[in-house]
Amino acid sequence: MWFKSLQRRHRFAVLMVCAGNICRSPMAEAVLRAKLSSAGLATQVAVDSAGTHGFHRGAPADPRAVARAGLRGYRLAGQTSRPLALADFNRFDLLLAMDRHNLATMVSRCPAGEQHRLGMLLLPATQPSGFGTDGAAARLGEVPDPYYGSVADFDLALDLIEPACDSLLSTLRRRLDELR
Note the pLDDT tens digit of each residue in 75-90. Answer: 998 899 999 999 999 9
- The C-alpha atoms of residue 13 and residue 136 are separated, in whole angstroms, by 30
For residue 180, give Cα distances in angstroms to 160, 166, 176.
31, 22, 7
Give the residue numbers annotated as catalytic, written as ranges.
18, 24, 145
Average pLDDT, the chain: 88
CB neighbour burial string for 147-171, b if at least 16 within 10 angstroms, e if fewer = beeeeebbbbbbbbbbebbebbbee
What are the tens digits of pLDDT across the range 5-51?
444 478 899 999 999 999 999 999 999 999 999 999 999 999 999 99
Domains of the chain are 12-178 (3.40.50.2300)
Q: What is the pLDDT of residue 31?
A: 98
- The C-alpha atoms of residue 36 and residue 97 are separated, in whole angstroms, by 19
SS3 60: strand
Residue type, 58: G
Q: What is the DSSP letter of 80?
A: B
pLDDT confidence bin for 163, thresholds 50/70/90: very high
Higher pLDDT, 113 or 83: 83
Among 172, 125, 164, residue whose Cα is nearest residue 12: 172
